[in-house]
Chain A
Amino acid sequence: MNPSVDALRATFGSAIGRAQEACGDTIVTVGSANLLEIMRWLRDTPGQRHDYLVDITAVEYRDRERPLEVVYFLRSLERKADLRVKVELDPSGELTVDSVTPLWAGANWLEREVYDMFGIVFAGHPDLRRILMWETYAEGYPLRKDFPLRGRFSRAEQVRQALNANPEAHYSIEELSIAEAYDELPPDMRERLRRGQRGTVPESE
């Protein structure tokens, strides 16, 4: 077994759940309450130094009894070692987990993607918005098992909402000022962005 797991158990005790080896990778399940603490320890402790967050994703199984998992892929660049950390969430409860953006700035967009696709809320995230689907997307979270393959709305309604969407509405005020497109926006949208407000779904006819 990976020495990181034993060290984790020695440090955090019962917060560390089961661990397994699969295809040469180590997967360790941790409690969501201590996630930030555990991640900080994994990043900063000499001998661990998992300084690189490769990816964050989530898994929902077809078996409804199984919990939803948020998966963190960690790598230690100096030790050339990988570790996969999973947090289990009860799908019937609140899907909230602490954001790791204070530890890895690169987690920002990764967590936005998981939020966009699964609806998992990352507490403490600085800018938790949809990233792949557009801001006014109202059909839900596409990678959840209860999401119909073709979406919830009729095709005509999907086309109507898509055509009514403003392509510029995907960007935050920071992104727009980088693109210097901010001044070209209609005044109402500028006002909305300044207030940090989200877009709205256009009225159905």
Chain B
Amino acid sequence: MKRVFETKEVSGSQNWLLTRFDALVNWARANSLWPMPFGTACCAIEFMATAASRYDFARFGMERQAFSPRQADVLICAGRLPFKLAPVIRTIYDQMPQPKWVISMGACASTGGIFDNYAMVQGIDTIVPVDVYVPGCPPRPEGLLYGVLLLHKKIKGESLAIPGLRDEQPLDAHGLRLPPEQIDEISEPFGNSIHQYRSA
């Protein structure tokens, strides 16, 4: 594992701390992620279990759950997202200051899951950009923790020099995040749901 800090003996007596600025910033960001829980269904129960003492994601710098998006770093969508909540999660995402990340927790948030119907968003990536998808129905706390650790890894690989990485990406002129064809493609039925009965 790459070490972030190095201490060196310089001119005998004093200790100097040397690091890349990138590595220092990313280390700080990754290890103090404040989650904004957006719990809508059974995944939120597993999320609470992850936050509680047995699994305790405070160990990874997520001690403070930010119930205000203005003080949050990572939006965790735990549960299915109906179309009625789509403008809500988009508003919350827009209210979060950069840098910000999104974890899509569970099958429903990631793909619509078993709810391939008229009321449900088929994957929150049609609404907000997603950094880590955690599969499962619902994922166990270990799964969510693994997702958080993957996010740490991703954050530590970021560079401040990448232009536009932390720019806000507002909705386009149609009020969409992605081109319509791409949303249709993402939302295509798959697995067992292609056999579901369609009337009309």
User: Which residues does chain A contribute within 8 Å of B176, judged by CB atoms?
Assistant: 156, 159-160, 163
Q: Could you say which interface size class chain B belongs to?
A: 20 to 34
Q: Are B118 and A159 in contact (CB under 8 A)?
A: no
Query: Among the listed A150, A159, A165, A202, which residue makes an inter-chain contact with B198, where contact means beta carbons less than 8 Å apart?
Result: A150
Q: Are B86 and A145 in contact (CB under 8 A)?
A: no
Q: Are A160 and B175 in contact (CB under 8 A)?
A: yes
CB interface residues, A 9-66, toward B, < 8 Å: none
CB distance from A91 to the nearest CB of B (A): 14
CB distance from B131 to the nearest CB of A (A): 20
Nearest A residue to B82 via CB reads: A162
Q: What is the bound-complex CA distance between A158 and B84, given in angstroms?
A: 10
User: Which residues does chain B contribute within 8 Å of A150, judged by CB atoms?
Assistant: 116-118, 189, 198
A149 at the interface (CB under 8 A from B): yes
A67 at the interface (CB under 8 A from B): no
Q: What is the bound-complex CA distance between A148 and B118, given in angstroms?
A: 8
A157 at the interface (CB under 8 A from B): yes
Query: Among the listed A142, A147, A163, A165, which residue makes an inter-chain contact with B171, where contact means beta carbons less than 8 Å apart?
Result: A163
Q: What is the bound-complex CA distance between A151 and B150, given in angstroms?
A: 36
B10 at the interface (CB under 8 A from A): no
Query: Among the listed B118, B127, B173, B181, which residue makes an inter-chain contact with A163, where contact means beta carbons less than 8 Å apart?
Result: B127
B140 at the interface (CB under 8 A from A): no
CB interface residues, A 153-179, toward B, < 8 Å: 154-167, 170
Q: Are A159 and B121 in contact (CB under 8 A)?
A: yes
Q: Mark A124-161, 1 if CB is under 8 A from B, else 0.
A: 00000000011000010010011111110011111111
User: Which residues does chain B contribute within 8 Å of A139, judged by CB atoms?
Assistant: 118
B192 at the interface (CB under 8 A from A): no
Query: Among the listed A146, A147, A162, which residue makes an inter-chain contact with B83, where contact means beta carbons less than 8 Å apart?
Result: A162
Q: Are A156 and B121 in contact (CB under 8 A)?
A: no
Q: Are B200 and A146 in contact (CB under 8 A)?
A: yes
B63 at the interface (CB under 8 A from A): no
A205 at the interface (CB under 8 A from B): yes
Q: Are B199 and A155 in contact (CB under 8 A)?
A: no
B87 at the interface (CB under 8 A from A): yes
Question: If A134-B84, A162-B121, A165-B87 touch, does A149 touch B175 (CB 8 Å cutoff)?
Answer: no
B90 at the interface (CB under 8 A from A): yes
CB interface residues, B 9-37, toward A, < 8 Å: none
B183 at the interface (CB under 8 A from A): yes
CB distance from B181 to the nearest CB of A (A): 7
Q: What is the bound-complex CA distance between A156 and B127, given in angstroms?
A: 11
Q: Mark B85-97, 1 if CB is under 8 A from A, else 0.
A: 0111011000000
Given contacts A150-B116, A163-B127, A205-B173, 19 further A-B contacts (CB under 8 A): A134-B84, A147-B199, A147-B200, A148-B118, A149-B196, A150-B198, A151-B118, A155-B126, A156-B184, A159-B121, A159-B127, A159-B176, A162-B86, A163-B90, A163-B175, A164-B87, A167-B87, A167-B91, A205-B174
Query: What are 24 A-B contacts defined by CB distance under 8 Å?
Result: A133-B119, A139-B118, A142-B118, A142-B119, A146-B200, A148-B199, A148-B200, A149-B117, A149-B118, A149-B197, A150-B189, A151-B119, A155-B122, A156-B183, A156-B187, A158-B83, A159-B83, A159-B127, A160-B176, A160-B180, A162-B87, A165-B84, A165-B86, A202-B175
